[in-house]
Homo-oligomer: A and B are copies of this chain.
Amino acid sequence: MSTAYRPLNDGTLPGVLAPLKEVSERLGGDFSQWSVQEVGDGNLNLVFIVGGPRGAVIVKQALPYVRLVGDSWPLPLSRSYYEHLALVEQTKHVPKLVPKIFHYDRNLALIVMEYLTPHIIMRKGLIRGIEYPRFAGHIAEFMAQTLFKTSALAVPAAEHKRRIWAFADNIELCKITEDLVFTDPYRVAKLNRWTAPYLDEIAARFRADAALKVAVQRRKLQFLTSPEAMIHGDLHTGSIMLTPEDTRVIDPEFAFMGPIGFDVGAVLGNLLIAYYSQEGHEGRPGSRTSYRHWILVQTEQVWRLFAKRFRELWDASKSGDAYMPELFTDAPGAAAFAAEKDRFMRALFVDSVSFAGIKMIRRILGLAHTEDLESIQDEARRARCEIKALTLAHRLIIEADKFTGISDVTSAARGIFAAH
């Protein structure tokens, strides 16, 4: 395999894959028989499905720029390195919840991985109104395992520092988040867009809302200075592929050592966007009522199952350098440690609620929008959904520490839905 980077295409890709034994066996036949289809609909990369007589694989190749914007916005190929590094780490903890990796080529910035079928991107499933009975448990397990086990609660300090070191240079991908999530929606920025003119007023109001901006900037500082665990960094419903039985998390190229609540908040925030977008997908008024309810139940389940599992892992752990279990073996120690874990989980909940709100706003007033809302053709109707979502998001950020629990969040979501 030649190692110089060049973007591959349907003509050149088979020749690159042919020498890879595991890949060619999986595809079967001769490489002249392989079909190549470019299917990347994300914002950043080339994604190919390569099919052969026996099977198929996915090939993901980074481009040296942001696909969504073009080569005027360069982006380093090293993101493929971090994606692979994160995938390898996640595979250790939740091998069944991520795609299998067959090959990684650092120079080509290319990862060959399992072709997931009949999985679809969760966001598309939510638009169609499909229920996924195992999703909440799976994503809760994914988050609890990957976040707890890469935290200083679980590992020795030396391992924690090495992991901080390993991801510290994923600078440009973090900068996308820093700019597009935490900054641009709160200022006049060329890349912002929204459903105009309907959202002009609320966008201007948010840009002038000093309390909101301070709250978001406080979270940005936390994002910059809190290597709590290896986070996925982009854990929205477009980074989840699933069937009713199986769930896989993909695309961890934004991974770095960051605040745990950022991942949890990403899932919650995207579910809440899906909740508010249902109204725009109703064939007749109320036709999505029960599905809307299902989404809120999942929102609650995601937090509850995550918190339960994270806490179980913590209770079972003996290896972390933070809160060393040997200090808390007597009865008063055990009680104080349990109370401290409760306090930690409460703080993590507040973090998650706030990050959820921040992720919602960036998807409606910032550069990168979601298909949940974008696919609502009638702009007035879409804007009504968006204004409700923004109203909740604002409250999640400003009053994060006033929500007593996840059902308080879903109640607020319902209340805002009904009131507008």
Number of copies: 2
B residues within 8 A CB of A20? none
Chain A interface size band reads 35 or more
B residues within 8 A CB of A330? 208, 210
- Chain A 213-239 residues near chain B, CB threshold 8 A: 213-214, 217-218, 220-221, 224-228
Asked whether A168 and B171 contact (CB < 8 A) given A221-B323, A224-B157, A224-B322, the answer is no
B residues within 8 A CB of A333? 210, 213
* Contacting pair A213 B327 (CB below 8 A): yes
* Contacting pair A327 B224 (CB below 8 A): no
* Cα(A222)–Cα(B5), bound, Å: 41
Asked whether A327 and B187 contact (CB < 8 A) given A221-B152, A225-B228, the answer is yes
* Cα(A408)–Cα(B175), bound, Å: 42
* Contacting pair A220 B322 (CB below 8 A): yes
* Cα(A227)–Cα(B256), bound, Å: 14
Asked whether A327 and B183 contact (CB < 8 A) given A168-B165, A321-B178, the answer is yes
Asked if A158 is at the interface of the complex by the 8 Å CB criterion, the answer is: yes
* Contacting pair B169 A208 (CB below 8 A): no
Chain A residues within 8 Å of B, Cβ to Cβ: 152-153, 157-158, 160-162, 164-165, 168-169, 171, 174-175, 178, 183, 186-187, 208, 210-211, 213-214, 217-218, 220-221, 224-228, 321-324, 326-328, 330, 332-333, 335-337, 339-340
